[in-house]
Amino acid sequence: MADRTSQQPGDPASVIAQQYNIELAMCDILERIADSLPDDVHPPLAAAAARSITIELTVHQRDQEEVLFPLLLARCSSEDRAADLIDLLTSEHATDAGFAAEVIEALQLLGTGRHIDNANMLGYMLRGFFQCYRRHLNWEQAVLLPLARQRLSSDDMAMVAQQIGKQRRQLQLMHSLGVG
């Protein structure tokens, strides 16, 4: 996978940037699936994509809403308009989660090897999801990460990176055990 962000060695923000790389790669897989409809879908890839969305979207939203956003609100001044940014991103998270549920259901069906009755509709739905999600991720990289790097101390960023890693490991373990 090509590196999609500039990362500095030892920079805790690179942990966040790495998560973006994973999620953008997930969007690439969704695009491959959409391109392979209706007859060339690889069921294990569809099943893996459904699991990936379940984990990545949940982790992404928890990382930001429980760790990064509260810290940014505490460190930013009113001129940064962080509250407006965070309100917008939180709203997009809710929209993404609702849309993802439908995408996951369809991918799980494809993952069983069953045929989809309306492949054009599914392709349209997949494209709508990954295009919006890519835009969301790219916008966060262009606006949210620079604000975090500007306003958070190195200790803050290290704590964010540590919490993100911890939450990711917990959610992946829960998902592998069939919990949550």
pLDDT tens for 25-42 read 999 999 999 999 998 999
Count CB-CB contacts under 10 A for residue 126: 23
Q: What is the pLDDT of residues 91-149, one digit of tens each?
A: 999 999 999 999 999 999 999 998 888 999 999 999 999 999 999 999 999 999 899 98
Alpha carbons 155 and 137: distance in angstroms, whole number: 24
Alpha carbons 41 and 60: distance in angstroms, whole number: 27
Size of the chain, expressed as the number of residues it contains? 180
Query: pTM for the complete prediction?
Result: 0.84
Alpha carbons 159 and 15: distance in angstroms, whole number: 11
Count CB-CB contacts under 10 A for residue 26: 21
